[in-house]
């Protein structure tokens, strides 16, 4: 151990503190808010070799519930020294910026869903059990605004909620317009848009969360990253699966599942595969997840040689 002390959150100060001449420095930082930008600054200004560590895996490898800066730093240093550090991909700045946009849209979509659920709950509470049209159609919205039999306070709440809902939907459309403009010259996104059943939201999300297809060794590894791999619960002679793995980006997985539904409807190869699996008695949910798994693995082999930053 050469040094153990606290330092300010400043790259220049860090460089002066760890000035070991011409020695090559390998450092690790737990992945959290702001660490990617910090790592970029350190690489650009100090020329160190920086790795981002997966905090969950590091904690499990530590096998100790005590958490202090000293013990965390020592653990990261030891894992880096022996080459066992569980690394997180350091995405380039354009990909991180795209992630901000896609995740902002995700938050807006969640808010839209909450507002719709609130209106539905209010209608149930007011015992409004019938409507002249299907929910969320133009005719239904017009009826809700002017004719739905609501109490005085219920009417006021619905009006306020509909105003907020309209604002959220406009912001979603504005975000999608910005996504299209930002990725207009992105080679990977434009090639993804040429895939059957794939639109702007799915293509930009894949670009933002996966980044580069060639950072995975195999298509199976990519499918596992997307949360589309079965979780094995085998023991002895018993071989069994327990649904899909839990450690993944849930929004990425749900988007790929939705894409698989579209592929089954619009693309003959996947439709035929789904029919064969259903004929063997496979549940529909399993069939859709299997199609998503196979599709992302095929996509890996198509795009892994694409030279994108």
Of residues 117 and 132, the one with the higher pLDDT is: 117
Could you tell me the CA-to-CA distances from 11 to 14, 61, 67 in Å, in that order? 5, 29, 25
Residues 206/192, Cβ–Cβ less than 8 Å: yes
- Region 110-117: mean pLDDT is 97
Q: Residue 2: what pLDDT?
A: 81
- Chain segment 163-207, per-residue pLDDT in tens: 999 999 999 999 999 999 999 999 999 999 999 889 999 999 999
- Tokens representing residue 57 in the block: 């895996």
User: Please, is 104 exposed, middle or buried when counting C-beta atoms within 10 Å of its C-beta (0-12, 13-18, 19+)?
Assistant: middle
Does residue 241 have a pLDDT over 80? Answer: no
Does residue 238 have a pLDDT over 70? Answer: no
The number of residues in the chain equals: 309
- Tokens representing residue 168 in the block: 């959220």
Of residues 305 and 156, the one with the higher pLDDT is: 156
State the distance between the two ends of the chain, measured CA to CA, in whole angstroms. Answer: 37
- Region 96-110: mean pLDDT is 95
What confidence category does residue 242 fall into, taking pLDDT thresholds of 50, 70 and 90?
low
Please, which residues have CB within 8 angstroms of residue 126's CB and are 6 or more apart in sequence?
A: 149, 150, 151, 154
Q: Residue 110: what pLDDT?
A: 96
Percent of the chain clearing pLDDT 90 (strictly above): 58
Q: Could you give the residue ranges of the DSSP H alpha helices within 29-183? A: 35-46, 55-62, 69-82, 93-125, 138-146, 152-182
Q: Residue 61: what pLDDT?
A: 83
The CA dihedral of 278, 279, 281, 287, to the nearest 10 degrees, is -20
Of residues 239 and 66, the one with the higher pLDDT is: 66
Phi-psi region of 200 (alpha: psi -120 to 50; beta: other; left: phi over 0): alpha
C-alpha span between 84 and 51 (Å, rounded): 12
Does residue 64 have a pLDDT over 70? Answer: yes
Phi-psi region of 47 (alpha: psi -120 to 50; beta: other; left: phi over 0): left
Q: Residue 307: what pLDDT?
A: 63
pTM, entire model? 0.85
Does residue 105 have a pLDDT over 90? Answer: yes
C-alpha span between 224 and 245 (Å, rounded): 8
- Chain segment 244-290, per-residue pLDDT in tens: 888 788 899 999 999 999 999 988 999 999 999 999 998 898 899 99
C-alpha span between 288 and 257 (Å, rounded): 7
Rounded to the nearest integer, the mean pLDDT of the chain is 90
Percent of the chain clearing pLDDT 70 (strictly above): 96
Q: Residue 244: what pLDDT?
A: 81
- Tokens representing residue 235 in the block: 């023991």
Q: Which range has the worst mean pLDDT, 35-39, 69-73, 263-267? A: 69-73
């Amino acid at each position: 151990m050469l040094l153990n002390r606290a330092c300010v959150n400043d790259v220049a100060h860090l460089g002066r503190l760890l000035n070991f001449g011409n020695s090559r420095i390998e450092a690790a930082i737990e992945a959290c808010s702001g660490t990617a930008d910090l790592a970029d600054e350190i690489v650009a200004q100090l020329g160190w070799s920086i790795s981002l560590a997966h905090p969950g895996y590091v904690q499990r490898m530590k096998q100790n519930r005590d958490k202090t800066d000293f013990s965390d730093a020592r653990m990261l240093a030891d894992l880096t020294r022996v080459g066992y550090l569980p690394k997180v991909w350091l995405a380039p700045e354009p990909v991180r910026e795209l992630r901000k946009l896609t995740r902002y849209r995700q938050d807006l979509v969640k808010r839209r869903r909450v507002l719709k659920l609130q209106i539905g709950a209010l209608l149930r509470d007011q015992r409004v059990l019938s409507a002249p049209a299907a929910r969320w159609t133009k005719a239904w919205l017009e009826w809700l605004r002017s004719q739905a039999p609501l109490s005085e306070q219920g009417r006021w709440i619905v009006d306020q909620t509909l105003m907020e809902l309209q604002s959220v939907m406009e912001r979603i459309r504005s975000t999608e317009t910005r996504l299209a403009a930002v990725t207009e010259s992105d080679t990977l996104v434009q090639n993804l848009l040429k895939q059957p059943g794939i639109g702007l939201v799915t293509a930009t999300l894949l670009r933002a969360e996966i980044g580069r297809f060639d950072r995975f060794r195999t298509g199976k590894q990519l499918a596992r990253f997307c949360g589309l791999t079965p979780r094995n619960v085998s023991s002895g002679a018993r071989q069994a699966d327990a649904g899909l793995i839990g450690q993944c980006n849930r929004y990425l997985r749900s988007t790929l599942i939705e894409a698989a539904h579209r592929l089954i409807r619009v693309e003959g190869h996947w439709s035929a595969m789904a029919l064969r699996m259903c004929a063997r008695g496979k549940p529909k949910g399993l069939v859709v997840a299997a199609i998503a798994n196979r599709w992302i693995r095929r996509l890996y082999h198509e795009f892994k040689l694409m030279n994108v930053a």
